[in-house]
Amino acid sequence: MELAATTTTADRTSARPHLRRDWTREEAQAIYEAPFNDLLFRAQTVHRKNFDPNKVQMSRLLSIKTGGCPEDCGYCSQSARNGSTLSASKLMEVQRVLAEAKKAKDAGATRYCMGAAWRSPKERDMDAVIAMVEGVKAMGMETCMTLGMLDDGQVFRLKEAGLDYYNHNVDTSERYYSEIITTRTYADRLETLDRVRQAGINVCSGGIVGMGEEKQDRIDMLVTLANLEEHPQSVPINMLIPIENTPLADVEQIDPIEFVRTIATARILMPESYVRLSAGRTEMSDETQALCFFAGANSIFVGDTLLTADNPDEDQDSVLFAKLGVKPMALDDHA
C-alpha cells in the first residue's frame, strides 16, 4: 500500500548529510576500546554539540497486552515458549490506556510508549491500537508503539493516526542473534525497521546487553544501527534483567564499565539520536547512572514498571536528578 504525503527516508536523510552511515567495525571498536577518560570526553563533547547536557527526556511505558507471546526470545518473561509462568492477558481497553497516559503526563512524561506481547498485531486489534495512538496524541504527548512485526497496511494506519515513534529493537549482533531468538530472523527485524522508516515514522531501535554476548557483539549491534539508511531517532540500551525460568536467568551480569562504554559508543556513532538508558536501572548504582548520562544517555523510562520488570520509582529518579543537577526535558526541548 502506498503512503501518500509522508516524509520519506530519502527526504530526511538528505537533510542531514553530515551524519555518517558508513562506520566500520574497526572504527567502532577503536572508539569502544579507547582509554575510558578519552572515550567519555569524546562522547560528552558530541553530546553537548547536539543536546542540553543537563536535561533528560522522560518516557512512560505501558504493557497494553501482556504474556502469551509466540516468540522464543530468551530474555523475555512474556514468551509462551521459554518457561515463563506469566499469564497471558487480553488487550487493555482504550479508556484504561488513556487514563494511564493522563497520569503519566501529569507526572512529567512527554512520550508515552505502549507495548503488546505479539509476534505481529491481528487486524481485529488494530482499531483499538489506533484509538490509543489518537487519544494519547490528543493529550499533547509523543506516541510510541511496539507491536512486533508490521505489514504495509498496519504501518499505513499507524502513520495516519499520527504515531510518532515505532520501537523494534535489533536486540544484539546478527552473529549472536540466533543464540537468543529462533522464531524470527535478524532480517525480519531490519525489514520491519525499513518499512516503518519508509512510512516517515520515527524509529526507536536499540538492544540488550549482558545476555552472554561478546564485546564484539555489542560493537556490531551499534554499527548495524548507525549504518541504517537513517539513524534511529531513539536508541534504547537495555541491561538484561534476568527473569526466573527464562533461558537467560543465570547469565552473569555485564560489568558496569562495559555498559557505559556501550552508551558512549552509541552516542558517538549516532550523535543526534536520543540514547535511552532503559531496562536494568534498578541494578545500577547512582554512580553508574551518572556515568551513563555523562556518556551521552539523555532519555529514561519513568514509573515503577517496565512491561513486567521493575524500574526505579519517580522519587528515586528525582533524588538522583537533584544530585546531578539534571532536569526533565520538556516537549518543546525535543529535537
Which positions are catalytic? Answer: 69, 73, 76, 113, 144, 204, 276
Residues 6 or more apart from 272 whose CB is under 8 A from it? 16, 19, 50, 231, 335
Burial of 246 (0-12, 13-18, 19+ CB in 10 A): buried
Distance CA 81, CA 96 (A): 29
Residue 58 is placed in which grid cell? 522522560
Contact 232, 95 (CB under 8 A): no
Q: Any bridge partners for residue 145, and if so which?
A: 114, 166
Alpha helices in 15-151 (DSSP H): 25-32, 36-50, 94-106, 123-138
Closest CA to 20 of 223, 206, 185: 223
Closest CA to 172 of 294, 262, 98: 262
Residues 6 or more apart from 167 whose CB is under 8 A from it? 113, 115, 144, 145, 146, 204, 205, 234, 236
N-to-C CA span, the chain: 30
Distance CA 300, CA 238 (A): 11
